Chains A and B, each alone.
Chain A
Amino acid sequence: MAPVATTEATVLDLATSSTRAVNERLTSPEAPKTVTVTGPQGAHALACGLDSDIDVTIEGHVGYYCAGMNQHATVTVTGNAGVGVAENMMSGTVRIKGDASQSAGATAHGGLLVIDGNAAARCGISMKGVDIVVGGNIGHMSAFMGQAGRLVVLGDAGEALGDSLYEARIYVRGTVASLGADCIKKEMREEHLTELRELLDAAGFDADPSEFTRYGSARQLYNFHVDNASAY
């Protein structure tokens, strides 16, 4: 495809190009450092598999698995994102200026995912090291089986937060509808306030860490025992 060169960034237009062509361009060794993608109209698997420090802005709404398995890149979506945005991200930054559908940041191993709006159910499901900061609310079963990383929620959390949590840490400013199995409220010590402040700063949110509550694993279900059977 022939990119349209502008003074600010190379523009790739999905109205005239396929997702395959755009992704090929973004992952090419000769890819420009700054790219704007226009006309996504809910396209799936957009900007997935990026593996360089490229800066990509997608103007509009994206479909499933946008920025999946991202490494090193900075991806900004000006609209909403579909299911599994930044799934299995390894590093880099993904920012959604609108809302995100379910399973945002699923199984992600690293990097920073910022959602300015709300995230639906299962945000951070099975997270393995990623940091996720959500400006609004999150849906039910978020951080289910979360293994590592931090989930920060400036709004409210839905039912069964942190069910079957391992070592991921959760900070919520608003209300929590209910906690999942083995997830408990924990003390906010100074190191947690510091950690939270750094996460909020990195995500660009102005909020007071002291207003948040920390949640984590009670570690009662780490090894199966019949006495715990009723907890499952």
Chain B
Amino acid sequence: MNTPNPALRESATFDRGVISEIQRAAETGIYDIRGWGAKRKLPHFDDLLFLGASMSRYPLEGYREKCDTDVVLGDRNAKFPLHLDIPITIAGMSFGALSGQAKEALGRGASEVGTSTTTGDGGMTPEERGQSKNLVYQYLPSRYGMNPDDLRKADAIEIVLGQGAKPGGGGMLLGQKITERVAGMRTLPMGVDQRSACRHPDWTGPDDLAIKIIELREITNWEKPIYIKVGATRTYYDVKLAVKAGADVVVVDGMQGGTAATQDVFIEHVGIPTLAAIPQAVQALQELGVHRKVQLIVSGGIRSGADVAKAMALGADAVAIGTAALIALGDNSPRYAKHYEELGSAAGFYDDFQAGQDPAGITTQDPELSKNLDPVEGGRRLANYLRVLTMEAQTLARACGKSHLRNLEPEDLVALTVEASAMARVPLAGTTWIPGAL
């Protein structure tokens, strides 16, 4: 970072960001609540590289030979598992945190490319159900808007036990975003902060969860796949318990996961990186003999087709995107640079999703601001982005000689750093060394 005077030396401990936060805390007496996921640099998929084929492997022709992308989710118990055309899904984001237009746009974009979207903490909206060919209905601790009719309308049910940005923490939708409609869906007064509980109210552990899953299956006639979503922390144990409880699909959300509004200290200091979580999850599934039978979806900082392909090579069956989907819709677009500056931020930096003043019309309940997002145009942009992710993943897979994305494997990867090598459990580039491997 440049300073106005080269003679001035910035403290590594108390840099300008830290100083600013101390000043803000001293002034307001409240911790920072924001969205946009972890901002610190973390070990990530960028620290891995693919080993394209040369002699010892045989590549496929990039634009000629087929590389399939479809995935089946939840075929262990459900009568109607989800068949998706691409292994990239839209993560749960609530109506309330997002505008109705944003939810509709997500549904339109996902449906156009044959994948699923997910409700969020606040119930199912007609916009979202109407535009989503495949809709996953989240069963959250708050149970806002939860009802059996919507459960039966869903294509899958995701029991949320944790989120990557805040494992162990509940949500907080601040009062300024609680319009009459949002309040009505959540059975709360307008303008009141809405605290989402950090744990489900009617069970106290994995044994209870197994019974809860049976209840949900009974209510939906054993038709819907049941997902369990956990924030990435003690992933190995959490995944094992989720499988034992009866999950058809396990969703592991790494700490780079975005969130509409939570404490900055939580976002930056709780959980483990997505990269570190995947091998733990895969190991748990393999030891139980259910890898590829209980599908694994990973989320948290997925941005490109390379991220998709690397996650799948490490053993995921699919990925979910949240923040990247919002960016595709138009979040933090330079188009609104002037408006972001008026809010004390800048395009590319805006993270006050809790404030409800998003000029892009995405993380707001203001009817005027919401008009800034055209759901048809937003859906088209999201579909384009999902197509690009898919094509990028395909081209990498073909280079590794794979005719289906699911055939990517850890052997296709090496790590650039010792840390990434240890976490991802692939060799350091140019060596056969995996730190910590037996």
Interface residues of A (CB under 8 A from B): 19-20, 23-24, 27, 44-45, 48-49, 51, 63-65, 68-69, 71, 83-84, 87-88, 90, 102-103, 106-107, 109, 122, 125-126, 128-129, 144-145, 147-148, 164, 166-167, 222-226
Contact = CB atoms under 8 A, between A and B. Distances in A.
Nearest to B212: A65
B192 A88 contact: no
Contact of A126 (B143, B151, B215): B143
Contacts of B58: none
A83 B175 contact: no
Contacts of B201: 103, 106-107, 122, 125-126, 144-145
Given A63-B211, A64-B215, A222-B192, 15 more contacts: A27-B221, A44-B211, A44-B214, A45-B211, A48-B219, A64-B208, A65-B215, A84-B202, A87-B202, A106-B202, A109-B187, A125-B202, A145-B197, A167-B189, A226-B30
B192 A223 contact: yes
A45 B214 CA distance: 7
B188 A166 contact: yes
Given A83-B202, A223-B192, A109 B212 contact: no
A83 B212 CA distance: 10
28 contacts: A24-B221, A45-B215, A49-B218, A49-B219, A49-B220, A64-B211, A69-B147, A69-B151, A71-B148, A83-B208, A84-B203, A88-B147, A88-B148, A90-B147, A103-B201, A106-B202, A107-B202, A109-B146, A109-B147, A126-B142, A126-B143, A126-B197, A145-B197, A166-B188, A167-B189, A222-B189, A223-B193, A226-B29
A125 B208 CA distance: 16
B429 interface: no
Contacts of A107: 143, 146, 201-202
B269 interface: no
A103 to B, nearest CB: 4
A224 B193 contact: yes
Contacts of A19: 218
Contacts of A128: 143, 187
A45 B151 CA distance: 16
Contacts of A23: 218
A57 B413 CA distance: 60
Interface residues of B, number: 34
Contacts of A45: 211, 214-215, 218
Which of A44, A83, A107 has the most B CB atoms < 10 Å from its CB? A107
A147 B188 contact: yes
Contacts of A24: 221
Contacts of B2: none
A103 B187 CA distance: 19
B49 interface: no
B172 A90 contact: no
B218 A20 contact: yes
Given A103-B201, A122-B201, A126-B197, A166 B146 contact: no
Nearest to B172: A224
Interface in B188-240: 188-189, 191-193, 195, 197, 201-203, 208, 211-212, 214-215, 218-222
A164 B195 contact: yes
Contact of B175 (A20, A44, A223): A223
B432 interface: no
Contact of A44 (B147, B192, B215): B215
A225 B147 CA distance: 32
A223 B151 CA distance: 31
Contacts of B215: 44-45, 48, 64-65, 68, 87
Kindly list the 9 A-B residue pairs having the minimum CB-CB distance in the complex, ordered from nearest.
A49-B219, A226-B29, A84-B202, A103-B202, A107-B143, A106-B202, A45-B215, A69-B148, A125-B201
